[in-house]
Amino acid sequence: MVDLSIVQAEFIDWMRHERRMSAHTQEAYLREIRQALQNILKTHSPLSPAFTLDILMQITSQDIRSWLAHRLDQGLSARSNARALSALKTFARFILKRHEVEISAIIKMQSPRFGQSLPRPSTHAQLLDVINSSVAEPEWVSTRDLGILVLIYSTGLRISEVLALTPKDVEKDTLLVKGKGKKERIVPLLEEAKHYISHYIQKCPYTLLKDSPLFVGKQGKPLNPGVFQRYIRNLRRTQNWPESFTPHALRHTFATELLKNNMDLRTLQTLLGHESLSTTQLYTQISDPQLTAVYNKAHPRNT
């Protein structure tokens, strides 16, 4: 029977080269899978480098339900359980396809049910407060963080997409963005965003090469997303804002504001880089009247 370490190496290679998952997604999947197996299999056999696939076939549906219940007891949500089970199912299906070993208890387990929770966008007033206020940081760092904030708010980019930009990318009036799955999309770059980016480039003490990362840290290396996330946490603390104010909330705000100003859903879907229109609806907190208005405007029977 095949050693589990070999299977995991194959799975990583499959995620990276065949599925083209981002490094972040790969890490999340592996973390969920390893934690799941450690918990589920502790009653069967300790996990070790010599662990083989045959032990996986001993997993029962009760083992999985107990693992999911344990996660809920630890304060994790049903949505978190669904993500973890999805990662485990992906691994099980990979094993079935690659090694013809079926872990039926995993593959057949129903995902936890949960209600859809809508994202909470920031308010325009909150963002104006940040833009118009001074931040107690070295000036070039303040201009960098503010430039990222304005860029996400004005383009709807993910933080990972922003940090992948180069100085060459922001020279035009549009951005060619590589999103999830290496899919490309074009997003307009507003003059206000260009202004803040230009101000940051002028203040940055490091030479920014045209094909190197645009946003750098205090040591001149590519900026870690955790640095900007810490900046947002500090804003929440100093401004007494809710936990819902996050880097991703800026993306929600971008989408919601455009929808309120009558942008059609398909165009918004393209700007956000969503594969599914239903995802765009969820992001933008579409109320029934808004959805009806968009439908009435777009449907040929109403023209």
Cα–Cα separations (whole angstroms), residue 299 to 33, 118, 282: 45, 26, 21
Cα 5 from Cα 50, distance rounded (Å): 8
Give the single-character DSSP code of 220: S
Closest by Cα among 157, 160, 208 to 22: 160
Closest by Cα among 205, 181, 143 to 26: 181
Q: Given the residues 19, 83, 180, 236, select the one marked as catalytic.
A: 180
The answer to whether residue 283 is catalytic is yes
95 CB burial (10 A radius; 0-12, 13-18, 19+): buried
Q: Given the residues 71, 144, 158, 194, select the one marked as catalytic.
A: 158
Residue with tokens 């995991």: 8
Q: Given the residues 19, 120, 178, 248, select the one marked as catalytic.
A: 248
DSSP-assigned states of every residue in 173-206:
SEEEEE-GGG-EEEEE--HHHHHHHHHHHHH-SS
Give the single-character DSSP code of 215: S
Supply 55's token pair.
């032990």
Q: Given the residues 196, 200, 231, 283, select the one marked as catalytic.
A: 283
The answer to whether residue 274 is catalytic is yes
Residue with tokens 């946490």: 233
3-state secondary structure of 3: strand
Q: Given the residues 251, 252, 260, 295, select the one marked as catalytic.
A: 251
The answer to whether residue 203 is catalytic is no
Residue 107, number of CB atoms within 10 A of its CB: 13
Give the single-character DSSP code of 217: -
Closest by Cα among 12, 9, 92, 109 to 53: 92
The answer to whether residue 158 is catalytic is yes
Give the single-character DSSP code of 19: S
3-state secondary structure of 299: coil
Q: Which residues are catalytic?
A: 158, 180, 248, 251, 274, 283
